[in-house]
Amino acid sequence: MRPSGRSFNEMREVSFETGVNRYAEGSCLVKFGNTHVLCTASWDESVPPWMRNSGKGWVTAEYNMLPRATHTRGRRERDKGPGGRTQEIQRLIGRSLRAVVDMQALGERQILIDCDVIQADGGTRTASITGAYVALRQAVEWAKSNGIIKNDPITDTVAAISCGLYNGSPVVDLDYDEDSSAQADANFVFTGSGGIVEVQGTAEGDPFSEEQFTTLLSLARRACDELTQKQKETA
Amino acid sequence: MRPSGRSFNEMREVSFETGVNRYAEGSCLVKFGNTHVLCTASWDESVPPWMRNSGKGWVTAEYNMLPRATHTRGRRERDKGPGGRTQEIQRLIGRSLRAVVDMQALGERQILIDCDVIQADGGTRTASITGAYVALRQAVEWAKSNGIIKNDPITDTVAAISCGLYNGSPVVDLDYDEDSSAQADANFVFTGSGGIVEVQGTAEGDPFSEEQFTTLLSLARRACDELTQKQKETA
Amino acid sequence: MRPSGRSFNEMREVSFETGVNRYAEGSCLVKFGNTHVLCTASWDESVPPWMRNSGKGWVTAEYNMLPRATHTRGRRERDKGPGGRTQEIQRLIGRSLRAVVDMQALGERQILIDCDVIQADGGTRTASITGAYVALRQAVEWAKSNGIIKNDPITDTVAAISCGLYNGSPVVDLDYDEDSSAQADANFVFTGSGGIVEVQGTAEGDPFSEEQFTTLLSLARRACDELTQKQKETA
Amino acid sequence: MRPSGRSFNEMREVSFETGVNRYAEGSCLVKFGNTHVLCTASWDESVPPWMRNSGKGWVTAEYNMLPRATHTRGRRERDKGPGGRTQEIQRLIGRSLRAVVDMQALGERQILIDCDVIQADGGTRTASITGAYVALRQAVEWAKSNGIIKNDPITDTVAAISCGLYNGSPVVDLDYDEDSSAQADANFVFTGSGGIVEVQGTAEGDPFSEEQFTTLLSLARRACDELTQKQKETA
Amino acid sequence: MRPSGRSFNEMREVSFETGVNRYAEGSCLVKFGNTHVLCTASWDESVPPWMRNSGKGWVTAEYNMLPRATHTRGRRERDKGPGGRTQEIQRLIGRSLRAVVDMQALGERQILIDCDVIQADGGTRTASITGAYVALRQAVEWAKSNGIIKNDPITDTVAAISCGLYNGSPVVDLDYDEDSSAQADANFVFTGSGGIVEVQGTAEGDPFSEEQFTTLLSLARRACDELTQKQKETA
Amino acid sequence: MRPSGRSFNEMREVSFETGVNRYAEGSCLVKFGNTHVLCTASWDESVPPWMRNSGKGWVTAEYNMLPRATHTRGRRERDKGPGGRTQEIQRLIGRSLRAVVDMQALGERQILIDCDVIQADGGTRTASITGAYVALRQAVEWAKSNGIIKNDPITDTVAAISCGLYNGSPVVDLDYDEDSSAQADANFVFTGSGGIVEVQGTAEGDPFSEEQFTTLLSLARRACDELTQKQKETA
């Protein structure tokens, strides 16, 4: 039995609210239950120095938690630089989005994604990826409707979900209560057409078996299909 | 004529939405027109080391702008530490709130205020102070209703507003368009009973006269009276 | 009664000694009683990158306290970067000086002011501004007499003084003893012709009234007139 | 055809040299072909502050590359702090080792693993984990033979290997040439008894399929069995 | 022929002015020609944590150059931490002073020396050591006359001088002009009774011979005897 | 009697192993007894910005200790930047090597030396200099045999040794046991033809006499002659 009463393959209620920032070219407030992430996409008509004259564009992401996003207040990272966990997550978000963007079609420009976690109840990285896609989609629509680009550089959708072993059983979309006592924790990133972009699985206590891992993979696949559906309805 | 069409003594539409964070003991999303600041108040049953055994409490604040709060994306301060402007603002917020809290009555505990600017259209420091008071009020109510404190340590309300000389004329509550071309910029913090907590006036171009400064002071006083009224209706 | 025996509107003995550094283009050791600040002005025939090709110059300032300037030894800021107070003060010094310099007349060059506090007995920021003006004046004279510039870019003098409420009464030019127990502390920057460049007033304990604030403003005005007179006699 | 001429399921020559540091309680120079990592295990009779009085021990790891471990010289991280990649890897090493240590049996003491890459030809993180286990094993033997601990806290062996898609085909133990042009890159950490400790798979270009991923998993499993065998022969 | 017209074994004019800081327990403004260093000695009735309960005291030093001490303005170190040269010099000053203090006689207390270079014309480290001794002496006199210590912990005087090869010839007390074109540069620290505390010699261009080095040593010895004499007349 | 049983003028066993890094243009594992330093020389066809168009080259060095090089594990410097001791040593290594390189003959290119201490038993800086010369020699041979340079820019060999007063007697090549209780510690850098590049002598306890210092100088000279011989046999 899950603390939230959800069945093993049931995600939390997911919603996307777009246009939440009047300055950003794309923006989306994504909610996975009580996990709320504000995603903005900033269009930048330049690329980092090392990409100049390559004819290619770039998509990158930053991730941050507001200090009181969590049960107890955390320290702001600006006093010590972004920690390893933050960097790991923001690199994951960036890689996931780049997997569905044709950099040649984008041309020499950059899209910067900011994922600021307003409230955190587990699964902030998967909510960030899923919401960031929607903000990215909005920014590309903005660029198209303003005649900045002609061809759509987005080649597919992308979404992410966590799975894990809770009380020995596989469950999908762990909230904080489950996450903090799960034996295994895995994050999966899928494209809309079913390709795997990223798999990350970690045994928190005892190692898990190949069979258990395969079950988590299937659960994640089905959840991402649902997320893809919702993304398409939104953007 | 002001860019927004407002009259010289007309503030932007102001609103306070409380209870916007399920974990924080007090929270308030304050809006001064398109300036939106998320304020949380975190109750901490300990004080900084230098205050231990003093029998007194402490109230402190942190201020931050999300990177895409502004027209063009700014760099996160975590890569370089909080800048001088950030520190100046957060110290101002802290001082303003402490002016209306009886530290003896609070007892040896600390209230940490976080002001995260979601969207910035001028006046973020004055909106922060005004909203932070509401979050602080909520946190104190929470503590009282949970039996943590008996006596109310808050002695008065506190609110803040900016004034300035725009096209040579005094105006109240400058938005970004006005702020970026004002000849003088002043911030005032008043208590609900009309005491001055802080005055900061700076000539951006030519120095201003004593008479002009006195006019700004009156404008600010009247605007803060309105804000006080709204704060009392909210909290 | 003031600890020093001064009357409420009496400044400490003020002196300016120029030419105290054989390398700097301008230099001045300013003393406000036991507060001693070494001010140097360094002429730089270049401007910061963001000002190039603007045809305009720049004036900026750095402020620092020697570790044993105070009663007990303080820690050097180089181990942790300049703190918020330091940054706030040096920005104030820079703004105050820029208010009396015509950047177009200065041309694309920079004057860097260094204010190093040798001994601190209250009022270091106001002594710094007042002494920095003299060092700036010297540097401009140097540039004129060396044929580097023809027209004088300085449009007015500038001076600063602190006022406050001590034992409930308004007093001018607070020393450390008064400053550490004042109810209100305000700094004023005036040009020689009586314009206000900056006003900063803070209630340390109870808020103060508009009337009290107006009295402080008058006291400051008269003190700055005296400082202006001395500056003109020196430089 | 692989650049090295190896067959798809053939690892590079692997060797472990123990006792290479006269001061460390455990040490091992591990070689996976031209990838050489110096692993030391330092025994510390104290635990981090947050673990005191828990009755439990801790195992942690640091990872570093010498500047000329690579084809072109890299910059030392001490000038900028450990980067995200470094932190990600050293956390992975730490987690992998902790999965096979019974912290209760270890008692309140800490084992610090240092993995310094002397020469890097791909797969430094998997070589580090595999060699670190041997150093850890040595340190535990040292503690047992010196009567510091009685019961062996190590519950299993642990080893790691990389797999990937090179020219569309699954291969094991990628060297630098393969790694820099692989379409997919995955790292697997297995215990000696076949449990999965960690799975990390990333599509570098196009997403990969579930079937491809399953093949990589099998390849890794078999390679780790071989590594386990060699570890047992060594330690 | 030396640029200053001095003979090869002639030091610049040296002076010590004591009591230049009203708060410091000991202070001395030392001048070696145009090199001016403000030295303060701060008495601290505590020792660093690692010395507690040792019954012994400590003497340590910090060295700093004001930004405009030199011909062209330097950057303040607070923006980047003390550089290697600064650390090297301040460790040298501390070692030199500790060589003439009996830490047991001092007891568990610390004397902190600050050497702030006001104007630099070569030889700032040797002037600092020589002036720091005088400030230290003053602080010990202060402690004795205030009954804080009974026995004098200072066992000898200490002084320092630079020597070098200029145009192939040995000269003493190099000024900036000589220092910047010397072939060899050496610093010597002697006690009043003629013991060597520190020798540092560096070939800037071609290596020098053992014979040349011996000549520099003799020159330094005689100069330090003169400095010792002046120190004794002052303190 | 020395702890190691060596006679006063007997160095530890010294060896040089070249070609230990397959990527570096020059490399040498130098051993002075149990002190082991891995030296690499990286050839860089560019110079630092401030040397461009000077027609001259540059040689620079970095020094680092692996955390478990010592009896107890030290903290990695990357978490706090290179300390003063590290900077002092690496500047010494750089200066020593530059004393035997004709920068004009080298041309506009840079050789970067890395000295990473694998195991430390005293004398790491002298071993580093001596081994770094061998790596430098290898890199120059590589450049000559690849037609990158024609003329040999190396003008002489360079080697270094420590001497000190142990139990009142002069000894050469101190190991850790001697170094930690020596009354005086001196490092000498000689060229192969007998010129002095650097002399550094420090009294750890009581000052030493000029006569004692002269004895150390002679001991060092003879030891460096031996090292020079071995270097020539190796490279």
Q: Give me the DSSP letters along A179-234.
A: HTT-SEEEEEEEETTS-EEEEEEEESSS-B-HHHHHHHHHHHHHHHHHHHHHHHHH
- Distance of residue A88 Cα from the nearest chain B Cα, in angstroms: 15
The residue count for chain E: 235
- When CB atoms are compared, the residue of A69, A78, A82 closest to B81 is A78
Name the least confident of B169-173, B182-186, C82-86, E141-145. Answer: C82-86
User: Tokens 């600021």 identify what position?
Assistant: A116
Show Cβ contacts of residue E124 under 8 Å, excluding neighbours closer than 6 positions: E35, E37, E63, E65, E89, E117
d(CA B214, CA D16): 81
E-assigned strand segments in chain D: 14-18, 26-32, 35-44, 58-65, 110-119, 158-166, 169-172, 184-191, 196-203
Mean pLDDT, range B40-62, rounded to an integer: 93
Tokens for D146, please give them: 């010196």
pLDDT of residue C132: 98
Chain A residue at shortest CA distance from D195:
A207
**What is chain E's percent helix, strand, coil content, to nearest 5?**
35, 30, 35
d(CA A69, CA B110): 18
pLDDT of residue A50: 85
E124 annotated ligand-binding residue: yes
DSSP secondary structure, chain C, as one string: --TT---TT-PPPEEEEE---SSSSEEEEEEETTEEEEEEEEEES---GGGTTSS--EEEEEEEE-GGGSSSPPPPGGGT---HHHHHHHHHHHHHHHTTB-HHHH-S-EEEEEEEEEE-SS-HHHHHHHHHHHHHHHHHHHHHHTTS-SS--B-S-EEEEEEEEETTEEEES--HHHHTT-SEEEEEEEETTS-EEEEEEEESSS-B-HHHHHHHHHHHHHHHHHHHHHHHHH-
- When CB atoms are compared, the residue of A99, A190, A209 closest to D195 is A209
CA-closest candidate to residue B99, choices B51, B154, B26: B154
Amino acid occupying residue D146: N
Chain D residue at shortest CA distance from F74:
D42
Does pLDDT of E32 surpass 80? yes
E78 annotated ligand-binding residue: no
Digit-coded pLDDT (tens) for D65-83: 999 999 999 988 876 677 8
| Residue A42 in contact with partner chain B when CB distance is under 8 A | yes
F and E: touch, per 3+ CB pairs < 8 A? yes
- When CB atoms are compared, the residue of C21, C69, C76 closest to E62 is C76
Bigger pLDDT: E13 vs D235 = E13
Digit-coded pLDDT (tens) for C69-124: 999 999 888 766 778 889 899 999 999 999 999 999 999 999 999 999 999 999 99
pLDDT of residue E105: 96
Digit-coded pLDDT (tens) for A78-105: 766 778 889 899 999 999 999 999 999 9
Show Cβ contacts of residue D214 under 8 Å, excluding neighbours closer than 6 positions: A214
Contact assignment for C198 to B199 by CB distance below 8 Å: no
Chain B residue at shortest CA distance from C200:
B200
d(CA B183, CA B199): 17
Name the least confident of A186-195, B12-21, B72-81, E101-110. Answer: B72-81
Mean pLDDT, range D158-169, rounded to an integer: 96
Cβ neighbours of F213 in E, within 8 Å:
196, 199, 217
| Residue B111 in contact with partner chain C when CB distance is under 8 A | no
- Distance of residue E23 Cα from the nearest chain C Cα, in angstroms: 5
Does pLDDT of D103 surpass 90? yes
Cβ neighbours of D70 in F, within 8 Å:
23
Cβ neighbours of E99 in F, within 8 Å:
203, 206-207
Structural domains of chain E in order of their starting residue, each with its CATH number:
14-233 (3.30.230.70)
Residue numbers belonging to the annotated binding site of D for phosphate? 85, 123-125
Contact assignment for D81 to A84 by CB distance below 8 Å: no
pLDDT of residue A188: 98
| Residue A118 in contact with partner chain B when CB distance is under 8 A | yes
Q: By percentage, how much of chain E surpasses pLDDT 70?
A: 99
pLDDT of residue D135: 98
User: Tokens 């010990």 identify what position?
Assistant: E140
Cβ neighbours of F207 in E, within 8 Å:
99, 190-191, 195-197
- When CB atoms are compared, the residue of E77, E80, E114 closest to C67 is E114
Q: What is the pTM of this model?
A: 0.89
Q: By percentage, how much of chain D surpasses pLDDT 90?
A: 88
| Residue C44 in contact with partner chain E when CB distance is under 8 A | yes
- Distance of residue F83 Cα from the nearest chain E Cα, in angstroms: 8
- What b-and-e string marks burial along F109-125, b requiring 16 or more CB atoms within 10 Å of the CB? bbbbbbbbbbbbbbbbb
d(CA A228, CA A159): 6
Q: By percentage, how much of chain A surpasses pLDDT 90?
A: 89
Cβ neighbours of A44 in B, within 8 Å:
73
Contact assignment for A114 to B34 by CB distance below 8 Å: no
| Residue B217 in contact with partner chain C when CB distance is under 8 A | yes
pLDDT of residue B1: 84
Q: By percentage, how much of chain D surpasses pLDDT 70?
A: 99
Amino acid occupying residue A59: V
Task: Please report which helix (H) or strand (E) contains residue E86, including its range.
Answer: helix E84-98
Contact assignment for B23 to A118 by CB distance below 8 Å: no
- Contact D80/F119 with Cβ under 8 angstroms? no
Q: pLDDT under 70 in chain F at which residues? A: 79
Does pLDDT of B235 surpass 80? no
Does pLDDT of B205 surpass 90? no
Does pLDDT of A8 surpass 90? yes
Mean pLDDT, range A98-118, rounded to an integer: 97
Contact assignment for D62 to F66 by CB distance below 8 Å: no
Is A127 in a helix, a strand, or coil? Answer: helix
Mean pLDDT, range E222-231, rounded to an integer: 97
> β-strand F110-119 against F158-166: which pairing, if any?
unpaired
d(CA A202, CA D106): 22
Quick one: pLDDT band at residue A229, thresholds 50, 70, 90?
very high
Mean pLDDT, range D227-233, rounded to an integer: 97
d(CA F87, CA F97): 16
Does pLDDT of E221 surpass 80? yes
pLDDT of residue B44: 96
d(CA D41, CA D25): 6
Contact assignment for E195 to F186 by CB distance below 8 Å: no
CA-closest candidate to residue C202, choices C191, C216, C186: C186
Chain A touching partners, 3 or more CB pairs below 8 A = B, D
Cβ neighbours of F12 in D, within 8 Å:
none
| Residue D88 in contact with partner chain A when CB distance is under 8 A | yes
- When CB atoms are compared, the residue of E73, E76, E112 closest to C42 is E73
Angle among Cα E68, E69, E72 to the nearest 5 degrees reads: 55
Task: Please report which helix (H) or strand (E) contains residue C39, including its range.
Answer: strand C35-44
pLDDT of residue D81: 73
Contact assignment for B67 to A62 by CB distance below 8 Å: yes
Is A134 in a helix, a strand, or coil? Answer: helix
- What b-and-e string marks burial along D185-219, b requiring 16 or more CB atoms within 10 Å of the CB? bbbbbbbbeebbbbbbbbbbeebbeeebbebbbeb
Q: pLDDT under 70 in chain C at which residues? A: 79-80
Tokens for F16, please give them: 């040089």
Cβ neighbours of B125 in C, within 8 Å:
none
Digit-coded pLDDT (tens) for F43-92: 999 988 888 899 999 999 999 999 999 999 998 887 677 788 898 999 99
Q: Please report, for chain A, how many H helices and E strands are present, in that order.
A: 5, 9
| Residue E69 in contact with partner chain C when CB distance is under 8 A | yes
- Distance of residue A117 Cα from the nearest chain B Cα, in angstroms: 11
Contact assignment for C66 to E42 by CB distance below 8 Å: no
Residue B10 CA, distance from chain mean position: 18
Q: By percentage, how much of chain C surpasses pLDDT 70?
A: 99
Quick one: pLDDT band at residue E200, thresholds 50, 70, 90?
very high
User: Tokens 């076949």 identify what position?
Assistant: D194
pLDDT of residue D85: 87
Cβ neighbours of D83 in A, within 8 Å:
87
Q: Which of F20, F22, F23 is most worth mutating to test chain D (most D CB atoms within 10 A of its CB)? A: F23
User: Tokens 């060095």 identify what position?
Assistant: F61
Tokens for D83, please give them: 């980067």
- What strands lie across the sheet with E184-191, from one edge to the other? E169-172, E158-166, E184-191, E196-203, F196-203, F184-191, F158-166, F169-172
Quick one: pLDDT band at residue E50, thresholds 50, 70, 90?
confident
User: Tokens 């006690």 identify what position?
Assistant: E191
Residue F86 CB: number of other CB atoms within 10 A?
A: 18
Contact assignment for B73 to A38 by CB distance below 8 Å: no
Contact assignment for C73 to E44 by CB distance below 8 Å: yes
| Residue D81 in contact with partner chain F when CB distance is under 8 A | yes
Q: What is the largest CA-CA distance in chain E?
A: 56
- Contact C200/C164 with Cβ under 8 angstroms? no
Contact assignment for B42 to A68 by CB distance below 8 Å: yes
Does pLDDT of D212 surpass 80? yes
Residue B114 CB: number of other CB atoms within 10 A?
A: 28
B and D: touch, per 3+ CB pairs < 8 A? no
